[in-house]
Amino acid sequence: MEWIQRLISAGLLAGQVLIHLLRGRIHWRNTVDQLSVVGTESVLVAVITAITIGMVFTIQVAREFISFGASSAIGGVLAIALTRELAPVLTAVIIAGRVGSAFAAEVGTMRVTEQIDALEVLRTDPIDYLVTPRVIACAVMLPVLTIVADVTGLAGGLFITTQLYGISATLYLDSARNLLESWDMISGLIKAGIFGVLIALIGTNWGLTTTGGARGVGNSTTQSVVTALLTIFIVNFILSALMFRGAGEALQRGF
């Protein structure tokens, strides 16, 4: 019951953030700080994850495609998988674990130590000061990190195809260029932006609704991460079902 109440509270918080954004009530200094926290400090983890995923995926795909004489499609299949699903989802998972948990812990600590009450006494709206900057930062930086993941993931796949399977870099890159469409990139970036908003809202909402001292902060942090991950997977399914209906033609262009 408490979890459902918090989900409803997160939905109401989303409405409040939207209203505040429409009114131009943005704390720019905090927003810039959060852009650094979400983006700059997460680049290395996102790059390492994308490279390893690209390499592993290529190993699994290449060995099967080569046996069917379809080595010319390896780069394109990896590019489609990365841009549509792997890069936005895995980047969001990383940010949910690294940044979303930090949001819940930081805001939760402020709640139990009555710092948020102090902000309200000083006539500073916690939504403007704490929530909106984090939502903007995640919504902006998740797509940026996803682009980085796309590029580095393809680089990891290129390394595997050329070094382990002897496929030329030109064939790999031509395959990626032929199979990949602009909508594949756009859809992944749309997903990443939505995931970023969800991560920020869930993390800050679980922090704002924290009770019970240090133990409550720990529980809120754990629950926020679990909730964010479940939400990402569910929303990703819904978005994929809406964005990619009907039969695909990518492989037909690749041969």
Q: What is the mean pLDDT of residues 37-64?
A: 91
pLDDT tens digits for range 73-103: 888 899 999 999 999 999 999 999 999 999 9
pLDDT tens digits for range 192-238: 999 999 999 999 999 999 988 888 899 999 999 999 999 999 999 99
Of the pLDDT bands very low, low, confident and very high (cuts 50, 70, 90), residue 249 is: low
162 has a pLDDT exceeding 70 = yes
**For the chain, which residues make up each domain, given as ranges?**
26-241
Write down the pTM of the prediction: 0.92
Residue 150: per-residue pLDDT: 95
247 has a pLDDT exceeding 80 = no
Of the pLDDT bands very low, low, confident and very high (cuts 50, 70, 90), residue 244 is: confident
3-state secondary structure the chain: CHHHHHHHHHHHHHHHHHHHHHCCCCCHHHHHHHHHHHCHHHHHHHHHHHHHHHHHHHHHHHHHHHHCCCHHHHHHHHHHHHHHHHHHHHHHHHHHHHHHHHHHHHHHHHHHCCHHHHHHHCCCCHHHHHHHHHHHHHHHHHHHHHHHHHHHHHHHHHHHHHHCCCCCHHHHHHHHHHHCCHHHHHHHHHHHHHHHHHHHHHHHHHHHCCCCHHHHHHHHHHHHHHHHHHHHHHHHHHHHHHHCCCCCCHHHHHC
Of the pLDDT bands very low, low, confident and very high (cuts 50, 70, 90), residue 72 is: confident
User: What's the mean pLDDT when you consider all of the chain?
Assistant: 90
Q: What is the mean pLDDT of residues 29-45?
A: 91
Q: What is the mean pLDDT of residues 23-46?
A: 90
Q: What is the mean pLDDT of residues 158-177?
A: 90
Chain length of the chain: 255
Residue 117: per-residue pLDDT: 85
Q: What is the mean pLDDT of residues 39-59?
A: 93
pLDDT tens digits for range 112-147: 988 888 888 888 888 999 999 999 999 999 999 999
